[in-house]
Amino acid sequence: MPKSNSHKQKPMGKDVEGQAESTPMSTAMEETKRLGAYMQGKAEDATKAVGAGMESLGSAIHEHEPKQGVLHNVGEAMATKLEGGGRYLESHGLSDIADDLGNLIRANPIPALLVGVSIGFLLSRMMKRS
């Protein structure tokens, strides 16, 4: 005798109104996305603050550097680089910086590899000492 289908089960993942159920996994994923967006915003703010600080330091060096001589040349070069780097950090977001870094690595793979190996070597030496 066939079973009666008088009480059908509701489809999995749906509640009575047809909305997606709030499972612990989906809640955790939503919370992770929200936290990620918050952290990204904070990182962007910090990057802009560092850029503003670099630009300010460059301006201060310009104001207080000697008017001539070797120290003038060094101070001028340092202040110009700090101001330029500060403007770059303020105007570009972290995603732009990551894109620029990726393009630089693609354009110069051998030097990038050597820098990575060197950093790894130095970090391993530092870790052995501690």
Are 86 and 53 within 8 A, CB to CB? Answer: yes
> How far is residue 75's CA from residue 83's CA, in Å, rounded to a whole number?
12
Q: Is the pLDDT of residue 95 over 60?
A: yes
Residue 21 binned pLDDT confidence (cut-offs 50, 70, 90)? low
Identify the pLDDT of residue 81: 94
Q: Is the pLDDT of residue 39 over 70?
A: yes
> How far is residue 60's CA from residue 51's CA, in Å, rounded to a whole number?
14
- Give the total residue count for the chain: 130
Q: Please, which residues have CB within 8 angstroms of residue 89's CB and are 6 or more apart in sequence?
A: 47, 48, 50, 51, 54, 97
Model pTM score: 0.59
